[in-house]
Amino acid sequence: MPSRRTPERVALVLDAGGARSAYQVGALEVLLPALAERGQRPTILVGTSAGALLSAALTSTAHLDADAQVTRLRAVLDHATKENVIQPLWRQVPEVALRYASETLGLSRFRLRGIFGTEPLARTLDGVIDWEALHTNLAQGRVESTTVIATGVRTGRVTLFSETAPGAELPDAPKGHHLRWVPTRLGVDHLMASAAIPALFPSVHVEGPDDSAGWYVDGATRRRFPLAPAVDLGADRVLVIGTGSLFPAEDDPEADQAPVDLGDGVATLLGSVMDDPLRHDLRRLATANALVSEGPVADRMNEVRAERGRRPYREVPYAAVVPERGAEISRCAMEVFRTNHGTLKGTLGDPDLQVVHRILGSDSPLQGELLSYLMFDPDFFDQVAAFGKRDAERWLADHPDLWTLGPLDGDPDAG
C-alpha cells in the first residue's frame, strides 16, 4: 500500500503595523481563498503586534472555510475603531500628569508607562475573539501552533508565547540569540503585550506562565528575524504579510537637509523597527534558498549552523505581500486625517489625533507615517485594505503558483 503523503505545513507570518494592519486584512481576503483552492491552509501562525491580534482571530476561526474566515476577520477590523482601542486623551490627562509628577518626585508607585490608555482594546479583544474556539482549534489540531511575539521590558528578551496542538513541540532557542519560547495558553494579556508600542501604549503585565511573568512591550521592538520562528517551527512554506515598505526609500540628499522635529524622529524609529527587519529577512530567506544547492558551501554553512544549535538550511518557498513603498499608506493617513480629523468640526468631535499631530510637529513630511499607526478610522481601514487586496492580486498575477524561492522582483540588492 503506498504511503500517504504528509501535507505540507504552511506558516502565516503577520508582522507589526498598528492601524496599518487593515492592509493585512485586505491581503488575506485574497490569499486565504487562494490557498484553499490549492488545498493548503495555514497551520502555523506567527504574529507580532497588530499581527498577533489577527493571528489569534484566525486561529479562533480555523474550523471555518476560507470565505467565512475572511468575513470574521473583517468583522474584527470593523471593531478596531478608536473608541474600541484607546481611551480619549482628555480622560487620561489627570492620570498621566499624576504619574509623570510622581516619577519626577521619585515616587515609584505611580509609574507612567504610556501616553494612550488601551483598556478599550483589552475589552474589545475579549469580546470579538472567540477564545473557546481558539483553544479548541489548537487542541484538535486544526492549527498546529499560534505564536505571539512580545519583548521583555527590563531584559529586552524576545519572548515567543506559543499555544500548540497536542504533541507539537517548540524549538530550542538558538545559541547566541536573546530569545525564548514559552509554551502557554494564550489570552488577552499576551496580545496586549505584543501590541504595546513603547511610549505610545502602556507596557503590559503578563501573569503567566510563572517563569515568564512580567512586563512586556511590542514584539517588534527587538526581533530581528521575523520569518525565523516560522522556519524553526518546521514550516514547509511561508506566507508573510507586512505593512511597512518592501524596498527602502530612494536616495534624496536634499530631504536630509530639511529641518526635523520630534515627529520625524519617532517616525524614523518606527520605520526601523517595522520595515527593516522584514525587508532584510526576506532577502536572507531568498539567499538561503539559493545556497541549498551550492554543495560544499552549503555543507560548511550547515556545519556552522549545527555548532550554533540551528537546523540546517533547506529550501522554503515563500509568498510575500508587502507595500512596495510605505508612503502610499502614509499619504492615505494624512488624507483621512485632514478630511475626518483636521477640520474644526472633526477636532471638536475628537481632538486626540489633532493634539498628537500638533505636539509631534504638524508640518513634518513624515507625519503621515506616524499617524498611520494610530488612524483607527473606518475610512482609513477601507482604503488601506483595498491596497492590501490589490497587492495580493498583483502577487498572484506575477506568481500563478503562489510561491517563489528567489529574490523579489525589484529588489535593488538582489543578485
What tens digit of pLDDT does each residue of 395-407 get?
999 999 999 999 8
Identify the residue with better confidence: 102 or 29.
Answer: 29
Q: Cα Rg for the chain, rounded, in angstroms?
A: 21
pLDDT digits (tens, 9 = 90+) for 38-58: 999 999 999 999 999 999 999
Identify the residue with better confidence: 223 or 61.
Answer: 61
- How far apart, in whole angstroms, are the C-alpha atoms of residue 244 and residue 266? 15
| Residues of the chain above pLDDT 70, percent | 82
**Least confident residue range of 43-52, 81-90, 211-220, 362-371:** 362-371
Beta strands in 95-164 (DSSP E): 145-152, 158-164
| Residues of the chain above pLDDT 90, percent | 53
**Least confident residue range of 37-41, 168-172, 296-300, 382-386:** 296-300
Q: What is the pLDDT of residue 1?
A: 37
Identify the residue with better confidence: 166 or 89.
Answer: 166
The average pLDDT across 377-384 equals 96
- How far apart, in whole angstroms, are the C-alpha atoms of residue 220 and residue 16? 6
- How far apart, in whole angstroms, are the C-alpha atoms of residue 328 and residue 387? 9
pLDDT at 242 over 80: yes
- How far apart, in whole angstroms, are the C-alpha atoms of residue 307 and residue 181? 20
Cβ neighbors of 156 (< 8 A, separation 6 or more) are: 178, 221, 222
pLDDT at 4 over 50: no
Q: What confidence tier does 296 reach under pLDDT thresholds 50, 70, 90?
A: confident
Q: What is the pLDDT of residue 93?
A: 59
N-terminal to C-terminal alpha carbon distance within the chain: 45
Backbone phi, psi, residue 198, to 5°: -55, 140
Backbone phi, psi, residue 49, to 5°: 60, -125
b/e sequence 299-320, b meaning 16+ C-beta within 10 Å: eebbeeeeeeebeebeebbbbb
Are 285 and 238 in contact by the 8 Å Cβ rule? The answer is: yes
Grid cell listed for 197: 508600542
Out of 119-128, 267-276, 331-340, the most confident range is: 119-128
Helix (H, G, I), strand (E, B) or coil at 323: coil
Are 209 and 184 in contact by the 8 Å Cβ rule? The answer is: yes
Residue with cell 509631534: 360
Q: What is the pLDDT of residue 28?
A: 98
Nearest to 148 by CA among 111, 113, 106, 193: 193
pLDDT at 107 over 60: no
Are 309 and 175 in contact by the 8 Å Cβ rule? The answer is: yes
**Least confident residue range of 274-278, 354-358, 372-376:** 354-358
- pTM equals 0.89
As beta bridge partners, residue 318 has 238, 404
Q: What is the pLDDT of residue 414?
A: 55
Q: What confidence tier does 412 reach under pLDDT thresholds 50, 70, 90?
A: low
Helix (H, G, I), strand (E, B) or coil at 406: coil
| Most distant CA pair in the chain, distance | 77
The average pLDDT across 302-328 equals 81
Q: What is the pLDDT of residue 99?
A: 56
- Measure the CA angle with vertex 267, ends 266 and 271; round to 5°: 120
CB atoms closer than 10 angstroms to residue 67: 12
Helix (H) or strand (E) holding 42: strand 42-48
List, as own/partner pairs, every contact residues 333-339 make where C-beta atoms lie below 8 angstroms and the sequence separation is at least 24, other chains included: 333/368, 333/369, 333/371, 333/372, 333/375, 333/380, 334/367, 334/368, 334/371, 336/375, 336/377, 336/379, 336/380, 336/383, 337/368, 337/371, 337/375, 339/379
Are 325 and 252 in contact by the 8 Å Cβ rule? The answer is: no
Q: What is the pLDDT of residue 34?
A: 97
Identify the residue with better confidence: 210 or 241.
Answer: 241
Nearest to 112 by CA among 104, 100, 124: 100
Q: What is the pLDDT of residue 290?
A: 86
Nearest to 124 by CA among 157, 160, 75, 158: 75
Please provide the average confidence, as pLDDT, over all residues in the chain: 85
- How far apart, in whole angstroms, are the C-alpha atoms of residue 217 and residue 146? 19
- Measure the CA angle with vertex 230, ends 386 and 315; round to 5°: 100
